Structure 1
Amino acid sequence: MSEEPVVGFDRVSKAFDGGVRALDEVSLRVGAGELLVLLGLSGSGKSTLLRHVDGLQRATSGTVTVLGRDVGRLRGSELRSLRRRVGFVFQQFHLVGSLTVLENVCTGALGTLRGPRLGLFTYPRRVRHAAMERLERVGLADQAMQRADTLSGGQQQRVAVARALLQRPEILLADEPVASLDPDSAAQVMNLIAEIGREDGLTVVCSLHQVDLALSWGHRIVGLRSGRVVLDTPVHGLSREEAMSIYSKVGSELSGVGP
């Protein structure tokens, strides 16, 4: 890991209406090129943590730094500029089913274009060409002109990955990207994300529920419970039982918590 983190959380807390604390004094550093997996029960704070990285949510207290910028201080064009450097893959794909696969990928360039786009051929040729390159990379170039809603769930998530890659991100966030997929499709999508991360030198932060996938894919696992970091350890040498203990131990920290 590099000295200067790509993503840094310094005693970050997030409280919602009613006093619910989604994050509680979280401190975390993610280095360049690292593949970090967040594990934890539903409601443990995984999605909230990811949404702080690109400013979709803002900390109640503490500091979030991304690519050397204090996210909490960014507004307007500065925040949009940061978000262009951070790709996001969501659990529910967020594709427009009535549009072609290629046009869905092209929407990943909207942050760099002026004005709305109505139809595939209103995108510049360079964007369409780049989108086709991303589809080739995820193995879906042959489906470019199909409606997105004709694809399987695993294929739709690969389209979502291609769309995120069109931004040429330095960081890729993935919020339970395989939660709705069958085991074979889930493994394919996670292997694809890991391969792209390695080849492009991306920093990847991904939340998962599947412990086996996390152990086979990630460099490091961070376990969350009730908004607190209860485990922070490299995957190497971590047993499945130790990883599963994130889900079974309540109210106490686990071994391997980082500084």
Structure 2
Amino acid sequence: MPVITFDRVSKSFGDVRALDEVSLDVQAGEVAVLLGLSGSGKSTLLRHVDGLQRATTGTVRVLGEDVGALRGSALRALRRRVGFVFQQFHLVGSLTVLENVCTGALGSLRGPRLGLFTYPKRVRFAAMEQLERVGLTDQALQRADTLSGGQQQRVAVARALLQKPEILLADEPVASLDPDSAAQVMNLIAEIGREDGLTVLCSLHQVDLALGWGHRIIGLRSGQVVLDTPVEGLDRDAAMSIYAKVGSADLAAVG
């Protein structure tokens, strides 16, 4: 049974159609990679999964819920089940690594938190467990902005995992990293996904990384699905066809 379903979903921003009649299913436990140029619709698609954006037409169903129909507490409840890792990390640089991870629990806590020790002990303990999984326990009390880019992205992964999500979304999580750091982060996400039985939907630019990491490639061009196939048996030239024959309409789309 799919945990994510897009049924003829279109999204327009003014005269620009970012998604164009997209239909696809993602099964529980699947690792699916979105490939495509900047502006192909990858980020827009991801943001529909947890309701950060809403479809102009069509239906998005996630974990049995019609995302477009959710508001208020119902939407917040869904978002607690969906972790999100962003390209730019979105850490608070002046806070410690540990407190940044603890912010992943804010959706399940009442009231604001001012300082690390205003988080319940169970949250701090769970945050340390996640830092151990990403190999950063020794940096727990460092300021987040003293870490390398690869380390900061691992903090962001730990923060998302603190939610205990059923789905993990990752929007170009290694675009700003060097090749070695990128491989480390993607291998970490894959390993944790297998351990936790997560459904992973990730957007990437790097074809070789996608072929070595995902179960399935979904290629987007101008907001349309132009390739949807298992990675097994897919060669690099076929994957690169996603990027072929790009015209002005492709470059104008919103990603």
| TM-score, normalised relative to structure 2 | 0.96
- Aligned position for 1:99: 95
- Cα deviation, 1:13-50, whole Å, max 9, x if unaligned, reads 00012x10000000000000000000000000000000
Structure 1: gaps (5+ residues): 252-259
Shift of 1:115: 0.8
The reply to whether residue 37 of structure 1 matches residue 21 of structure 2 is: no
| Whole-angstrom CA distance in 2 between matches of 1:196 and 1:13 | 32
User: Cα RMSD (Å) of the superposition?
Assistant: 0.7
The reply to whether residue 87 of structure 1 matches residue 83 of structure 2 is: yes
The reply to whether residue 11 of structure 1 matches residue 11 of structure 2 is: no
The size of the alignment, in residue pairs, is 247
Q: Secondary structure at the match of 1:245?
A: helix
The reply to whether residue 235 of structure 1 matches residue 231 of structure 2 is: yes
Matches within 5 A, 1:1-259: 4-17=1-14, 19-250=15-246
Q: Which has the higher contact order (CA 8 A, sep 6+)?
A: 2
| Whole-angstrom CA distance in 2 between matches of 1:103 and 1:27 | 39
Question: Which amino acid is the alignment partner of residue 114 of structure 1?
Answer: R
- Cα deviation, 1:50-83, whole Å, max 9, x if unaligned, reads 0000000000000000000000100000000000
| Whole-angstrom CA distance in 2 between matches of 1:148 and 1:228 | 38
| Whole-angstrom CA distance in 2 between matches of 1:44 and 1:181 | 21
| TM-score, normalised relative to structure 1 | 0.95
Shift of 1:249: 3.3
| Whole-angstrom CA distance in 1 between matches of 2:203 and 2:242 | 14
- Cα deviation, 1:142-200, whole Å, max 9, x if unaligned, reads 10000000000000000000000000000000000000000000000000000011111
| Whole-angstrom CA distance in 1 between matches of 2:82 and 2:56 | 22
Q: Secondary structure at the match of 2:2?
A: coil
| Whole-angstrom CA distance in 1 between matches of 2:206 and 2:245 | 17
Identity between Structure 1 and Structure 2 (%)? 87
- Cα deviation, 1:89-148, whole Å, max 9, x if unaligned, reads 000000000000000000000001111111000000000000000000000011000000
> Which aligned runs of 4 or more in structure 1 are off by greater than 2 angstroms?
none
Structure 2: gaps (5+ residues): 248-255
- Aligned position for 1:256: none
- Cα deviation, 1:206-231, whole Å, max 9, x if unaligned, reads 00000000000000000000000000
